[in-house]
């Protein structure tokens, strides 16, 4: 069989090879992946050298991952895939707070922090006092909601980026009280560069793209009977609000961080979050 004949039938043959998959959804995803992947190769007429460059890039991406760094999530973020998946998964009633990307720096070791406690160690940056409420769309308070918060310190680094990290910093788990209120102390986040020392950084440099993210504080919410929410609050006026390297900013998530000079320099942030009930209608 000639090369042209193989090229003409190969896509159908590869898709057919997955016909015995027991899971219908997996069979569909596999078929569509092959269809679009082969169409891309044909569209750009990918050369053997370019194919090998791609293989080496993906290999290097995997090799850069460890227990505290997820280079593949960073790749997904910078290609806009993370935000697209998020947008498709959250086509729900507009009454809820909007979601955004998880990012590559979430960990599972955040400590429990009491109401009014701090997620950051002293001298991590400019003090930030965060308050707000968590309610249902009808305004009823959600008591006992678990909130995980994490952020960079005043130097623009997550705790996992420090080689001498021995315990979590600038991350913690708080809960709402009986009125749905939460209260904790943190550090004023600053704009920062995503890691540029790996294959994703090299990719961005080759495209003439910067690696900066606007300052933000991450939140993840969970409460019985409500859809989990992962989101962030961005600092209004940050120079990278309109040019986030991972496309994560939504206008509703740009918040006012109020600066105060007395009794010492500090910042306050108040924001009221709304969670969507699990059985809320999903628009098509």
- Hey, what are 34's tokens? 């092959």
Please tell me the distance from the alpha carbon of residue 168 to that of residue 59, in angstroms, as a whole number.
30
Q: How far apart are CA 104 and CA 160, in angstroms?
A: 10
Is 113 in contact with 184 (CB distance < 8 Å)? yes
Q: Check whether residue 63 and residue 79 sit in a common domain.
A: no
Instruction: Answer yes or no: do 238 and 126 share one domain.
Output: yes
Residue 69: predicted pLDDT: 86
* Selection from 46, 29, 37 nearest residue 10 by Cα: 37
- Residues 120, 213 share a domain: yes
Q: How open is the CA angle 204-253-80, to the nearest 5 degrees? A: 30
Within-domain flag for 16: yes
Pair 213, 248 in one domain = yes
**For residue 2, what pLDDT is reported?**
59
pLDDT single digits (tens) 184-242: 999 999 999 999 999 999 999 999 999 999 999 999 999 999 999 999 999 999 999 99
Same domain membership, residue 11 and residue 116: no
Q: What is the pLDDT of residue 136?
A: 97
Which pLDDT band, with edges at 50, 70 and 90, does 279 fall under? confident
Q: Do 144 and 180 lie in a common domain?
A: yes
Tell me which DSSP letter residue 253 carries: G
What is the model's pTM?
Answer: 0.87
One domain, residues 164 and 126: yes
Q: How far is residue 49's CA from residue 39's CA, in Å, rounded to a whole number?
A: 18
Contact 191, 249 (CB under 8 A): no
Residues 104 and 167 in one domain: yes
Of 13, 38, 67, the last residue of a domain is 67
Q: Of 67, 94, 112, which closes a domain?
A: 67
Residue with structure tokens 């749905």? 180
Domain match, 42 and 144 both: no
What range does the domain containing 167 cover? Answer: 75-274
Place of tokens 């904790």: 184
Nearest-angstrom CA–CA distance, 70 and 125: 25
- By the 8 A CB rule, do 244 and 223 touch? no
Give residue 66's region: left, alpha or beta (phi > 0; psi -120 to 50): beta
């Amino acid at each position: 069989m000639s090369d042209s004949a193989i090229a003409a039938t190969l896509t159908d043959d590869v898709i057919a090879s997955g016909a015995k998959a027991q899971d219908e959804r997996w069979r569909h995803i596999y078929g569509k992946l092959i269809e679009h992947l082969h169409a891309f190769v044909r569209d750009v007429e990918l050369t053997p050298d370019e194919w090998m460059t791609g293989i080496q890039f993906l290999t290097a991406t995997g090799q850069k991952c460890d227990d505290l760094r997820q280079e593949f999530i960073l790749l997904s973020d910078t290609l806009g895939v993370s935000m697209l998946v998020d947008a498709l998964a959250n086509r729900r009633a507009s009454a809820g707070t909007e979601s955004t990307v998880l990012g590559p720096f979430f960990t599972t070791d955040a400590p429990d922090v009491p109401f009014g406690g701090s997620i950051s160690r002293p001298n991590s940056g400019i003090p930030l006092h965060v308050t707000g409420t968590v309610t249902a769309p009808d305004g009823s308070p959600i008591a006992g909601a678990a909130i995980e918060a994490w952020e960079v310190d005043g130097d623009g680094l997550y705790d996992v980026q420090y080689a001498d990290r021995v315990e979590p910093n600038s991350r913690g788990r708080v809960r709402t009280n009986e009125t749905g209120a939460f209260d904790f102390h943190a550090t004023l986040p600053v704009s920062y560069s995503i890691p540029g020392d790996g294959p994703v950084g090299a990719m961005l440099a080759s495209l003439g793209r910067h690696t900066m993210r606007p300052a933000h504080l991450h939140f993840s919410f969970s409460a019985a009977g409500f859809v989990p929410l992962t989101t962030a609050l961005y600092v209004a006026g940050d120079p990278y609000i309109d040019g986030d390297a991972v496309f994560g900013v939504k206008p509703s998530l740009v918040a006012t961080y109020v600066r105060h000079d007395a009794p010492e320099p500090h910042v306050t942030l108040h924001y009221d979050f709304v969670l969507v009930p699990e059985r809320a209608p999903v628009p098509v």
